[in-house]
Structure 1
C-alpha cells in the first residue's frame, strides 16, 4: 500500500480543516490581532467557549458519529460568522459570536484528535493529526495579514471581514461534511464488524475488500479488546503518567503564541522597524514552521522535531528577555530591531513545535479515557491563555517576568521531554500507548 493510496484519510478530515481555519482567526483576535480597542472579556471569551465545547465533546464522542460533530460545529461557525458580519459594532453580539465559535472549536477538536488517530495509517498519522495546528496557524496568518493591511480610516469594520471569512469557511465545512468517514474502531466497540469493515474499505484505495484490510480489522479488534479488558479505572491509572507529560507539552504551546509576545512585536514595529509587515511575517514564519514539521513527522519523527522547537525557543527567549529587561533598550532602534528578528525566528520554531502536540495527544492515552484526558490538556492550554490575558500589563517588570518564565519553561520542558517523551513514528496506537507508559524514553528516532 503506497502513501498516495491513503488519501481518503486526508479527504475525510477536510471539513475539520475549514473549522480550524476559523479557530486560528479567532485565536489571533485573542492574541492581539485586532484594530479597535477591545476588553479583556472579548479576548478570553473565545477560550472559555473552547473549554465549554471540549467538555461537552468528551462525553458525546462515545455516542455520536464524527459527522454529527462536523455538522454541529460547522453550524455554530456559520452562526458566529453571521453575527460578526451583521453586528460588527454590537459588543454583546460580538461576545456571543466569540463564545459560539469557541464552543464550535472545542466540540470539534477532541473528536478530531480521537477520530484522526484511529483512521490514519501508521505511516501518515503524524501528517493527519498535525493538520489541526497547521490549519490553526494558517487561520492566524489570514487574520494577521488582513488586519495589517487595514486602513484605519475605512468605515467598513474589520470584524465584518472576519465574519465573512468565518461564514465562508463554516459553509464550506457544512457542505463537505459528507466526506467524513467514521472510524472503524467506533463500530467495533458497538460489535458492528460489517460497518467497521466498510469504513476500512473506504479509507484505503482501492475501495475493495482485501486480505490486508481483513488483517487491519483484526488489529483494530485486538486494540479494542485489550483496552476494554483494562476497564475504565485501570485505563485512568495507565493514563496518568502520559497525562502529566502531555499537560506540560500542550501548555507550552500557549506560551509559544501569546498576547505578551505579540504586544512586544507591535512595540518593536513602532520603535525600531516601522511599517505593518511584522505581524504577517511573524505568522507566516509560524505557518512555514508548521508546514516543515508536518512534512517531517512521519519521516524524522515527532520527538526530534518537538525538542528542536523547544530548545531553540528557549535559547531565543533568553535574548528577548535580556533586551526587554532594560528600559533603556526600549528607546534604541538597534536593540528593537534585534528584538524583532528574535521574535520572528521564535515564531518559526514555535510553528515547528505546534503540530507535535496534536500528534502526541492522539497517541498517548488509553482508548477508554482518551477523550477525557485530551480534553483536560486542551482546557489547561486555554486556562493558561486566559490567565496571561487577564494578568498581563505592558510594562518592564511584567514583561521581564513573562519572558523569563517562558524561556525557563521551554528549557525545563526540553530536559523533561528529552528523557520522558517517546518516539512514536511508525507505531500502532497500542505500541505508542505502551511507550508512553514508560517514564524513561531516551530513544529519539
Structure 2
C-alpha cells in the first residue's frame, strides 16, 4: 500500500480511460455513481424547500412563523450533522440514508395529516432538518470517493447544489400558487407534506436498492475485496476491468497518503481549505435569507399593483437556472472560473441593487437586478459542493464538512430572526456586494483549480494558502 507504487499511474486515471468517449457515453457508464447518492439528492430537495421556508417563503402557511418554528429546522440539521459526523467512515452509509429517508417521509406525513397543529409542523421541521444534517456530512465527505475524477465535479454539484436549488424552486412555485386567490381545497402546508412524502419514498427506494458504499471507507476498514466489489457496482458494465483496478490503486494511494499524516498534521493541513470553503459557503448562505425575501417583497409590491405570483416564480427559476447552466462546466472549464465570474457578478448586482432600492422610479430595474443576482448566486456557488468533498484531509474531513455546514446554518438563522427595515436591506446588500467582491479578488490568488485531478492532488492544492492556477 505504499504511495510510491502508485505514482507512475496517478494521472492516468484522469486522462487515459474513457477520455476519448463522448460525454453521453461517460454519463451512461458512470450512472451508478449518481444512483448510489440518489437518495441523498431527494432528501436535500426536501431540505431546499425547508431552507426557502425559513428564508420567508412561507407566507402561504396557515401558521405564524414563530421563533421556535423558525429555529426548529436549523436545530434539527445541526444535531443531524453532529450525528452524521460520528457515523462517517465508522458505519455503512446505507442505513444512515435509509434513516434519513424515513425521517423525511414522517415529516411529510405530519405536514399532510396534522397541518392545522402548530406543534406538529414544528416537529416535522425538526425531523426534516435532522434528516438533512444526518445525510449531508457522509454524502459530501464521500461523493468525491464514489465518483471518477472526470465526473466528480458534475456529481457533487448535482447531488448537493442542484438538489437544494430544486427544493427552493419547488417551494417558491407552490408558494406562488397560494399567493393567488385560487379556489383550492387543499392547504398549502399539505402540499408541502405531499411533496415531502414523495421525496421520502423515492429516497427510501433508492437507498434500499442502489446505495453503494464508498471504496475509501471500505479500505479504511481493511475490506479490500468489498472495495473492489463497490467499484465494480459503480460503473457499467458491472465487472472488474483494468480501469477498476486503476481506481482501486488510486484509492489505496489516497488512504495511504492520509494515514501517513498525524492528526495534528491533518488539522494543520486542513486549516487553509477550511477558511476558504467557509468563506465561500458563507456567501451562499447570505444570498438566501429573510433579508433577501424582504427585498424581493418590498420591490415587487411597488412594481405590481397587486403582489402577484410571478416574482416568486422568476426568483426561483433564475437561481435554479444559474446552477444548472454551469453544472456541465465543472469538469471541463473547471471550478475556479465559474466561481470567480459568479461572485464578481453577484457582488456587482448586489451593490447596484442597494443603490437603486427604495428609489421609486427605478424599482423595475431594482427587481431585475435582484433576479440577476440570484442567477449569478446559483452560478457562482455551484462549485462549493465540489470543494467540500475535495478540500480536507481524510482524518478530519467529516468534522470540517460539519463545521462548514453548521456555520452556514447559524449564519442563515441569524439573518432570519427578524424582519429588516428598508435601511437594513440597503446595508445588507452593500455588505453582500462588498464581501462578494473581496472573495473574488482573494479567490484569484487563493482558490485552486482541481478539475481532472485525483483527490490526493486536489487535497495538496487546497493545503496551500495561494493558488494562481486556472
Equivalent residue for 1:227? Answer: 258
Equivalent residue for 2:142? Answer: 115
Equivalent residue for 1:286? Answer: 319
Confirm or deny: 8 A CA contact 1:420 1:439 kept in the other structure. Answer: yes
Confirm or deny: 8 A CA contact 1:366 1:433 kept in the other structure. Answer: yes
CA displacement at 1:176 relative to structure 2:
1.6
CA displacement at 1:289 relative to structure 2:
0.8
Confirm or deny: 8 A CA contact 1:18 1:169 kept in the other structure. Answer: yes
CA displacement at 1:32 relative to structure 2:
1.2
CA displacement at 1:41 relative to structure 2:
2.8
Confirm or deny: 8 A CA contact 1:286 1:348 kept in the other structure. Answer: yes
Give structure 1 regions of 4+ aligned residues with deviation exceeding 6 angstroms.
none
Q: Distance in 2 between matches of 1:172 and 1:19?
A: 9
Equivalent residue for 2:174? Answer: 146
Confirm or deny: 8 A CA contact 2:294 2:419 kept in the other structure. Answer: no
CA displacement at 1:40 relative to structure 2:
3.2
Aligned with 2:347 (options 306, 314, 322) = 314
CA displacement at 1:400 relative to structure 2:
2.1
Higher helix share: 1
Alignment of 1:373-388 (within 5 A): 373-388=400-415
Equivalent residue for 2:191? Answer: 161
CA displacement at 1:231 relative to structure 2:
2.5
CA displacement at 1:11 relative to structure 2:
1.8
Aligned with 1:305 (options 326, 334, 338) = 338
Q: Which moved more, 1:55-64 or 1:343-352?
A: 55-64
Q: Distance in 1 between matches of 2:34 and 2:184?
A: 40
Structure 2's unaligned 5+ residue stretches are 1-17
User: Number of aligned pairs?
Assistant: 437
Alignment of 1:401-412 (within 5 A): 401-412=427-438
Q: Distance in 2 between matches of 1:126 and 1:219?
A: 17
CA displacement at 1:193 relative to structure 2:
0.9
Confirm or deny: 8 A CA contact 2:111 2:190 kept in the other structure. Answer: yes
Confirm or deny: 8 A CA contact 1:129 1:355 kept in the other structure. Answer: no
Q: Distance in 2 between matches of 1:104 and 1:140?
A: 17
Task: Tell me, yes or no, if structure 1 residue 432 matches structure 2 residue 432.
Answer: no
Task: Tell me, yes or no, if structure 1 residue 198 matches structure 2 residue 225.
Answer: no
Confirm or deny: 8 A CA contact 2:85 2:398 kept in the other structure. Answer: yes
Aligned with 1:268 (options 299, 308, 320) = 299
SS in 1 for 2:90: coil
SS in 1 for 2:127: helix
Scaled by the length of structure 1, the TM-score of the pair is 0.95
Aligned with 1:419 (options 445, 452, 464) = 445
Confirm or deny: 8 A CA contact 1:307 1:414 kept in the other structure. Answer: yes
Alignment of 1:253-264 (within 5 A): 253-264=284-295
Confirm or deny: 8 A CA contact 2:289 2:412 kept in the other structure. Answer: yes
Q: Distance in 2 between matches of 1:218 and 1:232?
A: 24
Task: Tell me, yes or no, if structure 1 residue 133 matches structure 2 residue 133.
Answer: no
Scaled by the length of structure 2, the TM-score of the pair is 0.90
Q: Which moved more, 1:143-152 or 1:235-244?
A: 143-152
